[in-house]
Amino acid sequence: MFDVWSLQLQIDGQLYEGVSALARKGGPTIDFTQTEVAGGQRIRLVLSTQQEVRIDHCYLEGSCSSKAADWILANGFQSWSDSRWYHPTDSIPQLRRIARPLMGYYGDYHIPWIERGPAKVHSWSWTEWRPAGEEPLLIASLNERNAFTCFQWLHQLQCLRVEGDCRGHQLKGEMVLLDFVILRGELNRAYDTWTQLLDLPPLRAPQATGWTSWYQHYTNISAEIITDNLRQMVAQSAEHTFFQIDDGYQQAVGDWLNIKPSFPEGMAAMAAHIRQQGLQAGLWLAPTVADQRSDLLRKHPEWLQRNERGRPRRAGYNPMWGGWYYALNTTHPGWQAYMDEVLRTVTKEWGFSLLKLDFLFTTCLYPTPHRTRAQLMHHCLVNLNKWADDAYLLGCGTPLASGFGIFDYCRVGADIHLSWEHNLLKCLRHRERVSTVVALRSVLARAPLAGRVWRNDPDVYLLRDENIRLSREERAIVHRINALVGELLFTSDNVGAYRDWQLEEWQKQPQWIRQRVQNIEPLTSDIFRLQTSENTYLLDLKQRKLHLHSE
C-alpha cells in the first residue's frame, strides 16, 4: 500500500503528470525519492528551477483500500480547530455561509482547493489511518517550513492525496514541496520515529501547573484582582509553577507597552510580586494583530497586511476588542523592531519568564507570491523566539507544526466554555468555537505530541461553583482528562473559595498526573478507551462519564 504514487504538478498553467513528463519538457526539474526508514518509508519531492515560475498546484496520490469502519485522524489547521477521528465516509463540518464574514478567518475555510463534502476528510501536517482489524499507520510531514502539508482522504476514489500548500507561489531556485513519512505499526513507536526524524532540540520546559486570569475575569482585570488571586493560590500551599496575567492589562491590542490605569504600579511591579511568592510570572500577548482602537494602527498603518486594493486585511471580529482586528505584516522591518522592543521590555525589564503568544494564525492568513503560509509562520516564529531570549513560549491559536522546536508549551485544543457546548456556534458549524467538548476531543487527538515536540496545554480546568454552567461531573471530567494527557495545568478559579468536593478533587490532581496516558482508542465518535500506566478508562463524551473500564 502506498508503494506507487502518481504526481500532478502544474507550473505556469502547464500540467505535468509524472516526473518523466516534467523531464521531457525541459525547464524545471523534480527530484522524487522514496527511501526506507525504521517502520516504513520516507517520500520527498523537491522542485528546482533556474527561472522564476508560478506553482499552480502540486500533489501526490496513492491508492488505499479504506473501509467505512476505519478511523482517520483529522488534525485541524490551528490550535483551536476541531481535531478528531472520523470514519472515511464522514464529512468535516463546514462553516455556514451566514457566519463566514465574522468567523471565516480562524480555520481553513478560506482555502479553496481543499476537497470538502461526504467521504472527504482532510488533515494538516500529520494523520493516522486505523484500518479495522489491521495495523495502524502514521503519515506525517517532516518539513512544514516551506509549505504546509494537507493529507486528503478521498474515500470514493480510494486514494490519499498529499498536497503542499503552495498554490500561486513564485519560485526561483530550489524548494522542498513535500517531505513525509509513512510508518506502520504500534502508534507510540511510530510517533517516536517521526519525532526523531524531525530532529528537534531537547525539551527544556517542565511539566507545570498554575493560574491564569482569563476564564474568570476575562479583560476586566486589575492589580487588585491579580494580587488577591495570587494570595489565595499561595495560601493553599500547593506547589505551582506559573502565575499568568492574560488579556486586559494593555490599553488596546497592539499597544503592549501602554498599560491600563488599573495597574498603577506597572507590570514590572506585578511580575516582581509574583516572583516574590515563589512563582514564575507569565504574560499574554497577541503580537501579530492590532485592534481598531489601537495607537499602533493610527501611527503605523504601513505595518498592516493589505489586499490588492491597498485596504487593510481583517483577521477577525472580537467584541471584547471593540470589533474588528487586523493582521500585521510580520515581514515589515518596523513591526520587527517594535516587537523586538516589546519582548525585550517584557522579559528583561518587567521580568516575565513565560510568554503566551496568541492569535498567531493571523500571520499566515494571506500568503504572498513569494512567501507561502508556512514560510510566513516559520519566519515569524523564529523571530519571536529570538526576541524572547530565554523566556518560555506558550503558543496558542497557531498552526501546530510551525511551532515544533520553538514553543515550550502549546495549546492543543479550543478554548473551553462555561457550558459543555456553545450551541449557537455548533449550529453555525464553527470548528474553532469555544466549546468544552470540542476542546476535549482535540486534546485526545493531539495527545501523542505531549513530551515529544513540547508540553501540551489542554486549556484550563474549572472546579468553582460561581460563574459556571458545567455540572460537577463535567468539571471533574475536564480536570481529570487535562491531568491525564496535559502537561500545563492552569485554572482561573479563586482557589481560596474551594470547598468540600472541590478541595478533594484538586488535591487528587497529582494522582491523575501520575497516570500518564499511553494509548487512546476511539470506539465511537463519542466514546474513547484510555489506557494509562495504572488503569484503563472509558470516556463517554455524550453521556459525560469517565469511569474505570473492565475488560
**Interatomic CA distance for residues 74 and 522, integer angstroms:** 13
Query: Residue 236: its pLDDT value, please?
Result: 85
pLDDT band at 25 (very low <50, low <70, confident <90, very high): low
Query: Residue 286: its pLDDT value, please?
Result: 99
Query: Residue 19: its pLDDT value, please?
Result: 64
Q: pTM to 2 decimals?
A: 0.97
Query: Residue 17: its pLDDT value, please?
Result: 82
With both helix axes pointing from N to C terminus, report the angle between 267-276 and 223-235 in degrees, rounded to the nearest 10: 10
pLDDT band at 362 (very low <50, low <70, confident <90, very high): very high
The mean pLDDT value of the chain amounts to: 96
Which cell goes with 478? Answer: 475536564
**pLDDT tens-digit readout, 436-476:** 999 999 999 999 999 999 999 999 999 999 999 999 999 99
Alpha helices in 153-299 (DSSP H): 187-198, 214-217, 223-235, 267-276, 295-299
Indicate the pairing of strand 208-212 with strand 242-245. Answer: parallel
Distances (CA, A) of 84 to 8, 33, 88, 90, 158: 29, 31, 12, 12, 21
pLDDT band at 170 (very low <50, low <70, confident <90, very high): very high
**pLDDT tens-digit readout, 129-145:** 999 999 999 999 999 99
CATH of range 208-407; options 3.40.47.10, 1.20.140.10, 3.20.20.70, 3.30.465.10: 3.20.20.70
Is 484 within 8 Å of 516 (Cβ atoms)?
Answer: yes
**pLDDT tens-digit readout, 522-540:** 999 999 999 999 999 999 9
If you count them, how many residues does the chain have?
Answer: 551
Q: What percent of the chain has pLDDT over 90?
A: 95
**pLDDT tens-digit readout, 425-435:** 999 999 999 99
**pLDDT tens-digit readout, 207-249:** 999 999 999 999 999 999 999 999 999 998 778 999 999 999 9
**pLDDT tens-digit readout, 250-300:** 999 999 999 999 999 999 999 999 999 999 999 999 999 999 999 999 999
**Interatomic CA distance for residues 232 and 227, integer angstroms:** 9
**Interatomic CA distance for residues 320 and 244, integer angstroms:** 19
Instruction: Quickly count: other Cβ atoms within 10 Å of residue 8's Cβ.
Output: 16
pLDDT band at 551 (very low <50, low <70, confident <90, very high): low
pLDDT band at 18 (very low <50, low <70, confident <90, very high): confident
**pLDDT tens-digit readout, 54-86:** 999 999 999 999 999 999 999 999 999 999 999
**pLDDT tens-digit readout, 468-479:** 999 999 999 999
Query: Residue 26: its pLDDT value, please?
Result: 62
Domain residue ranges in the chain: 5-198, 208-407
Distances (CA, A) of 545 to 87, 139, 271, 504: 23, 32, 40, 19
Q: Is 189 helix (H, G, I), strand (E, B) or coil?
A: helix
Q: Provide the residue type at 542 as one letter.
A: K
Please list, in sequence order, all residues whose beta carbon lies within 8 angstroms of the beta carbon of residue 78, skipping any fewer than 6 positions away.
Answer: 106, 107, 360, 361, 397, 398, 399, 400, 432
Which cell goes with 322? Answer: 471593540
Q: Is 151 helix (H, G, I), strand (E, B) or coil?
A: strand
